[in-house]
Amino acid sequence: MKTGVWLHGDSLSKRDPALQKYPTAPTVFVFDRPFLETARLSFKRIFFLYECAVEAAEEMRVGETVEEVVGWMKEQGVERLAVTESPSPRWREGLVRLREQVEVEVVPAEGMVVVPNGYSVKRFTPFWKDLGREWS
């Protein structure tokens, strides 16, 4: 099955863990129209993202992310998708909608420390004391 990699704003370079796993896969990045219409990011931010995406992604698109990714998959003959995990609620909603239509593999994001499942603290000091020993 041909795998494609969806790059997003939290993981926008060749360092992307999903792309590291599938280094020859075609790649896409989408400027999400509904989000950008309301977020009104400065042009400097948009252009910075463009410069990152130009280098990282084979194709850049503008529109509603899920529709664009699915459309790109069809055009490229991509049958399954790999993407690096993001904590963003908008990304998670997109993932649910994508999974209704296509097979998606989520690759863990790069971390400095490993945060165990279910781990919960309110402040940084105990977080770093518990998990940051490698770096202390």
Rule CB under 8 A: which residues touch another protein? 9-16, 31, 33, 36-37, 39-52, 54-56, 59-63, 68, 84, 87-89, 92, 109-113, 115, 119-120, 122, 124, 127-128, 132, 135-136
By C-beta, is 79 or 119 nearer to another protein? 119
Q: Sign of torsion, CA 43 33 107 52?
A: negative
Distance of closest approach, residue 101 Cβ to another protein, in angstroms? 19
By C-beta, is 1 or 44 nearer to another protein? 44
Write out the E strands in 2-120.
3-7, 27-32, 59-63, 80-84, 103-107
Question: Residue 114 — φ and ψ, nearest 5°?
Answer: -95, 120
By C-beta, is 49 or 70 nearer to another protein? 49
Distance of closest approach, residue 116 Cβ to another protein, in angstroms? 11
Distance of closest approach, residue 131 Cβ to another protein, in angstroms? 8
> CB–CB of 98/67 below 8 Å?
no
Distance of closest approach, residue 81 Cβ to another protein, in angstroms? 17
Q: How far is Cα 48 from Cα 132, in angstroms, rounded to an integer? A: 31
- The encoded tokens of residue 45 equal 């931010």
